[in-house]
Amino acid sequence: MEKINCEICAFKNPKATVTAIIIKNNKILLLKRNEEPFKGNWDLPGGYMQEDETPDQTLKREIKEELGIDDTKLTFIKTLPGNGQWKEYYYPILNHFFLTEIAGNIEINKENSEFQFVDLKSINVTDIAFDSNQKIIVELQKKFVFDMVRVKELVNQLDSSVVVDEQSLYKAILNGFIAKKYDGEKLIGLGWIFPRQTILRKQAVIEDMIVDQTYRGKGFGKEILLELIEWAKKEGIDTIELTSNPKRIAANELYKKSGFKLHPTNHYLYFCK
């Protein structure tokens, strides 16, 4: 290739990269790098975008190359700035992170020497290659660390027919906010709120509010509800909506005392599947 000398080459425009966040049972997939930079450090699957690729196309290609897997589902998380390195050169990057679901057996290529699923909460970020990856790990440790057994137990108290999907929990966090209540390290309650923009207003919906039956009547439900309301106010929400079974007497009384008004309307559900 002919060497090009131009002013634009001196601009520090970031290079685009993509990274997969693959989590199972609250353990995240890490790869041990077999190449410089950061040879021997743990890394997340991903790489650089090529010409004419979209971020999701790039990540699917990288997962095929690094893990030998074709079957993927991607949910965008966020972008984070960081720094890349090629030999002695350092440059800015913009890393696109995706929550990634995979199906199939992992077969790593020569870029990495081994892989492990590691407890998200136990990761020391200084062991992770690249600063943008370290940043996302810190965020995931704040938002995605859950005792999945307790989550399933709590949700089953709300609806015993429901099967809790781990990936749906993470997507719910990305689409809104989950308030959690603990007794020491034991998860005893949670509630989820998510925003939606209609033609008329910016709304939010509260769903899946539950307190462990052995902890009810102690004010934990009110604390969760107020935390969800506070989140909505900070997000500039105009109206908060929730529904509740009339048989849940204590819950309905809590909603009324917290300022919710009973709206005279029929509530219909249409199941697409």
Give the model confidence (pLDDT) of 202-227 as tens digits: 999 999 899 999 999 999 999 999 99
pLDDT at 228: 98
Q: How far is 33 from 132, CA to CA, in rounded Å? A: 16
Peptide bond into 264 cis (omega under 30): no
pLDDT at 9: 67
Determine whether 2 is an active site residue: no
pLDDT at 5: 65
Give the angle 60-63-65 at the CA atoms, nearest 5°. 110
Closest CA to 228 of 183, 198, 194, 261: 194
Q: Residue 164, by phi and psi: left (phi above 0), alpha (psi -120 to 50) or beta?
A: beta
Q: Read off the pTM.
A: 0.92
pLDDT at 12: 84
pLDDT, tens digit (0-9, with 9 covering 90-100), for 152-171: 999 999 889 989 999 999 99
Kindly name the residue from 114, 230, 235, 253 that is annotated as catalytic: 114
Residues in the chain with pLDDT values less than 70: 1-6, 8-9
